[in-house]
Amino acid sequence: MVKRRSFVAGVFLAAAVAFPSLAAERSIVVASTTSTENSGLFGSILPVFEAASGIRVKVVAVGTGQAIKLAKNGDADVLFVHHRPSEEIFVAEGYGVKRFEVMYNDFVLVGPKSDPAGVRGMTDAPAALARIAAAKATFASRGDDSGTHKKELGLWQAAKVDAVAASGQWYRETGSGMGATLNTAAGLGAYALADRGTWISFANKGDLEIMVEGDKRMFNPYGAILVNPAKHKHVKAAEGQAFIDWLVSDAGQKAIADYQLGGLQLFFPNAKKAGS
């Protein structure tokens, strides 16, 4: 019986060890996209903000569509994503307080070295997509309602091609994140649309190269929005707004510009100055 009691005590001791009391700390949850996390941007700029403010930033990196859903449910304090039309709807519906421009980069169309559709060097993205469709060259789409996916669908629309109708044939919807989709594209020798940040930091490029870039329709702006405390009263409004204020401040903008990989800048700060 003594043995049994010590066994039970051991279980509770193990439980106590496993559940150390949580130190009180100020923290916010930021719902953001895989592109900002996978490119290493957050890893570079968040320590700067945390040191300056004492506020811990917990990033949940998912597709833009899922990030917006999380924020609507009140499961995040700040939304930091890259699909302006969806962001504007989010604010218009009262879920967000105000959208702040933070930074931008651009999308690139990548494809295999052999370039079966012959699009290398084109600067008209929809025309390049039309050529890929005509050649029935394999294209790997995110297919996950992310910002990149929404952008890609917009470009197909501009190209007047119903790519989704060819889903399962030359058009492959991976239903996963940017990195996973690039892994698939590298494996299949497929074309894919990627944000430049993820592309530069992606380590498994294999045979893939940039085919099309520089079209202004491939512009990729990022916005930050405080989740409306009037909708969800537990939202940490002061801390969340402090983070957004820092992102658009000179210090935050400099931290974003300073993040480089292999001598290449991944994101370009473009916050509006106060009053402008």
Partner 1 sequence: MDDLAAAFGQAASLLLGFDAELIEIIGLSLRVSFMAVGLAALLGLPLGAAVALYRFPGRTLLGALLNAFMGLPPVVVGLVVYLMLSRAGPLGALGLLFTPGAMILAQCLLVLPIVAALSAQIVADLNEEYNEQLHSFAAGPLQRLATLVWDGRFSLMTAILAGFGRAIAEVGAVMIVGGNIAHSTRVMTTAIALETSKGNLALALGLGIVLIALALAVNFAALALRDAARPRYG
Query: Which positions lie near partner 1, rule CB under 8 A?
Result: 4, 11, 14-15, 18-19, 29, 34, 37-38, 42-43, 56, 58-61, 72-75, 176-180, 182-183, 201-205, 232, 234
Q: How far is the CB of 233 from partner 1 (least distance, A)?
A: 10
For residues 44 and 270, which CB has a smaller minimum distance to partner 1 in the complex?
Answer: 44
Question: What are the structure tokens assigned to 122, written together?
Answer: 């084109």
Cβ 116 vs Cβ 135: under 8 Å: yes
Q: How far is the CB of 130 from partner 1 (least distance, A)?
A: 29
Strands 219-227 and 96-112: antiparallel
**Pairwise CA distance, residues 236 & 233, whole Å:** 8
Question: What are the structure tokens assigned to 175, written together?
Answer: 């239903």
The length of the chain, given as a count of residues: 276
Non-local (6+) Cβ contacts of 131 within 8 A are: 117, 118, 119, 122
For residues 100 and 202, which CB has a smaller minimum distance to partner 1 in the complex?
Answer: 202
Amino acid at 243: F
Q: How far is the CB of 57 from partner 1 (least distance, A)?
A: 9
For residues 60 and 127, which CB has a smaller minimum distance to partner 1 in the complex?
Answer: 60
Q: How far is the CB of 62 from partner 1 (least distance, A)?
A: 8
For residues 56 and 84, which CB has a smaller minimum distance to partner 1 in the complex?
Answer: 56
For residues 57 and 132, which CB has a smaller minimum distance to partner 1 in the complex?
Answer: 57
Non-local (6+) Cβ contacts of 154 within 8 A are: 217
Q: How far is the CB of 253 from partner 1 (least distance, A)?
A: 23
